[in-house]
Amino acid sequence: MNINPLLQDFNTVHQTPPFNNIKTEDYLPAFIEALDSARADIAKIINSKDEPSFENTVLALEYAGPQLEKVSTIFFNINSAETNDEIQAIAREVSPMLTAYSNDIVLNDTLFSRIKTVYDSRNNLNLNPEQIKLLEDSYKGFERKGALLTGEDKERYRSITTELSKLTLQFGENVLAETNAFQLHLTDSADLAGLPEAIKSAAAEVAKSEEKEGWIFTLQYPSYVPFMKYADNRELRKQMYMAYASRASQGNEHDNKDIITKIVNLRLEKAQLLGYQNHAEFVLEEQMAKTPAKVGEFLQDLLDRSIEFARKDVADANAYAQKDGLKESFERWDFSYYSEKLKAQTFDFTEEETKPYFPLDKVIDGVLGLANKLYGISFIENKEIPVYHSEVKAYEVLDENGEYLSVLYLDFFPRKGKQGGAWMTTYGDQYIKDGKNVRPFVSLVCNFSRPTEDTPSLLTHNELTTFLHEFGHGLHGMLANTTYKSHSGTSVYRDFVELPSQILENWGNEKEWLQMVGQHYKTGEVIPDELVDKILASANFQSGYQTVRQLSFGLNDLAWHSITAPFEGSVNSFEDAAMAKTELFPAVEGTSFSPAFSHIFAGGYAAGYYGYKWAEVLDADAFSLFKQNGIFDKATAASFRNNILSKGGTVDPMELYVAFRGQEPTLDALMERSGLVNPVNN
């Protein structure tokens, strides 16, 4: 008889997932058995003859189904980082099963009645603040998931949530398939004009790995972005741009436009069933912003402050292009290319110049060292901890007193089974039970340039910032210290969750830290003052354009989720209207942004994408305190840890922020940091 490793106690270092023993065929039977076990836990609560109490109802629900949570967490993380056709097929099969299980909990009248009984007597139970928060969140969670619905409405809610679980999964699969499907295969070296040697070498490695001559460029970030910045061949830049900007919108089997229509209409119907005007109103009730109107005002305020800067940024790049000999109209596939040339001329600097000074291994040391400097924590690589791919590194994380704090997995390079972008996730969250502080397993997943035969993985300064961002999320998980898993680490409002990540990016623009981490991969030379000065001088280059681009994504998201009647029109026309006031270029026929907008249609950012800019306001204001007290000031770092990172979702975010900062934030620090404070001279 085969023993399923997913259903056993993990006999590994710190009881981490035994990736080396898990086979794809283990997942489905593990789900089935774990679902049965979880249902038994729920049934025990429902069928209890004892009077409902915090312990036998709310706390019992918090701890129900641990095996299912364990299997689900491992499986869906692998589906993002190392998937294949078999895993995707299992995901499509189990997602409706998990939705049904969730619905069986929140739509059970008896269980909700028990929760409500405890909730109604909450003022007489002598609960501590974390217990009160768990009780309030549990009750509100049931309400927001349909517990008050009756009859046909309740059954319709079940149907909607099941269908959404399938559609959002399919959306992400389609984007991955479209990203992997395209290759620009070049065999004429003349087509490589303008490209840095490192980029050409990486493309040659890809071609070699596929037993082809020449060079292969893909839509993966480390290939696509530098190609658009440096390739002299305008037609090839256009070809790459069109492939990237038309992903999942080409009318083939991976087209997401119909899926978008179904998703937004189902989200609308669900919100209206629950008594809200639209999905944005439903989501934002549980965010710092509170209402769609507040988000709209916030985005418009930022747009009003930045649009003229953005127009000047585009005009400057266009003017440079005309002087450089561009005869055709200035198009989207020209912007990165001529912007990079203009940046090089203005600052005598290109992003590629930073790469030799940021070899990945040294950057890892520098980023982990920053955490040590701020929080006293240390990282020890442990090759005994199983990993899900040979390229993944695993570390034990120790607190300043040497106590075990967390496991950290680092996964850096693109693969065909890996979603694009960068993210932080966990394979187990922190919580305290029976006097034991169960520590988390945190994973950071990125897509950086691979090493080649003669060069290690080298990061641009921008990629260094990406690493800092995800590591900031990681610290939020690793330093969590809450009683309940529901409140642990990044389990906070979506428009607050980016504060810990975005504040850490600030160190990437601090000379003192850059010269600690920057070291030439060949000579060991510390990154010179002159180059650091150029990085810092160019930090706000075209920040107006970057701000408006980000705002366009937030406006697109808000528009899709503010509809109050079912959507029936053209996806392209809708997004054009939603993003019109941020538009800086002529429209390009055959392209569409929304069908590849995984954050809102496959991830957790629906009606929440504005949160990146919202949290930028917080992080700019918060970092000003570090600037005031010293960027490595341990007292300031301790305050940030104790008031923000360790608290998770136990307290309202603004209360946490004010406890750290001493005041509520304003836009001023962000606008000053971004260089968007002086009028644009036309």
What is the pLDDT at residue 588? 95
Query: Could you count the other beta carbons within 10 Å of the beta carbon of residue 575?
Result: 21
Q: What's the number of domains the chain is made of?
A: 3
Give how far Cα 167 sits from Cα of 162, 259, 554, Å. Answer: 9, 6, 22
The angle subtended at Cα 453 by Cα 447 and Cα 455, nearest 5°, is 65
SS3 217: strand
Q: Do 70 and 196 sit in the same domain of this protein?
A: no
Read off φ and ψ for residue 448, nearest 5 degrees: -100, 170
What element of type H or E holds 437? strand 436-438
Q: Alpha-carbon distance 582 to 413, whole Å?
A: 33
Within a domain: 93: yes
* Boundary of a domain, candidates 196, 219, 245: 245
**3-state DSSP assignment of residue 666:** coil
Find the mean pLDDT for residues 175-195: 97
Q: Measured between alpha carbons, how far is 337 from 227 in angstroms, rounded to an integer?
A: 9
pLDDT class of 680 with cuts at 50, 70, 90: low
CB contact set of 401 (below 8 Å; sequence gap of 6+):
none
Residue 513 lies in a domain: yes
Map residue 525 onto helix, strand or coil: coil
Q: Are residues 523 and 665 in the same domain?
A: yes
Answer whether residue 642 is part of any domain: yes
Closest listed residue to residue 270, CA positions, set 162, 195, 196: 162
Task: Give the three-state DSSP class for 585.
Answer: coil
Q: Which pLDDT tens digit goes with each residue over 611-669?
A: 999 999 999 999 999 999 999 999 999 999 999 999 999 999 999 999 999 999 988 88
Average per-residue pLDDT for the chain: 96
527 and 418, same structural domain?
yes
- pLDDT of residue 254 exceeding 90, the answer is yes
Are both 387 and 498 inside the same structural domain? yes
Please tell me whether residues 421 and 366 are part of one structural domain.
Answer: yes
Number of alpha carbons in the 13 Å side-chain half-sphere of residue 346: 18
Under DSSP, is residue 329 helix (H, G, I), strand (E, B) or coil?
coil
pLDDT at 454: 87
My answer on whether 211 and 72 are in the same domain is: no
Does the pTM exceed 0.85? yes
Boundaries of domain holding 92: 5-106+108-144
Q: Are 192 and 227 in contact (CB under 8 A)?
A: no
| Residue pLDDT, tens place only, 475-504 | 999 999 999 999 999 999 999 999 999 999
Which residues are CB-neighbours of 399 under 8 A, at least 6 positions away? 376, 377, 405
Residues 134 and 230 in one domain: no
Do residue 196 and residue 117 come from a single domain? no
CB atoms within 10 A of CB 197: 10
The CATH number of the domain holding residue 133 is 1.20.1050.40
Q: Are residues 128 and 202 in the same domain?
A: no
Q: State what percent of residues in the chain have pLDDT above 90.
A: 96
Q: Which residues are the active-site residues?
A: 470
Last residue of a domain, one of 120, 144, 168: 144
Please check whether residue 158 lies inside any domain of the structure: no
Cβ neighbours, 10 Å, residue 238: 15
Long-range contacts of 659-665 (CB under 8 A, 24+ apart): 660/622, 660/625, 661/621, 661/622, 661/625, 665/617, 665/618, 665/620, 665/621, 665/622
Domain boundary among 224, 245, 266: 245
Please determine, for residue 682, whether its predicted confidence score (pLDDT) is greater than 50: no
pLDDT in tens, 448-483: 999 988 899 999 999 999 999 999 999 999 999 999
Asked if the structure places residue 570 within a domain, the reply is no
- Tell me the C-alpha to C-alpha distance, in Å, between residue 144 and each of 18, 455, 576: 36, 52, 32
Who's near 583: CB < 8 A, 6+ residues apart? 552
Residue 8 has pLDDT above 60, yes or no: yes
Q: Is residue 338 part of a domain?
A: no
440 occurs within a structural domain: yes
Please check whether residues 529 and 619 belong to one and the same domain: yes
Alpha-carbon span 322 to 328, nearest angstrom: 9
What are 203-242's pLDDT values in tens digits? 999 999 999 999 999 999 999 999 999 999 999 999 999 9
Contacts of 234 (CB under 8 A, 6+ apart): 328, 333, 334, 337
Say how far residue 158 (Cα) sits from the centre of its chain. Answer: 28
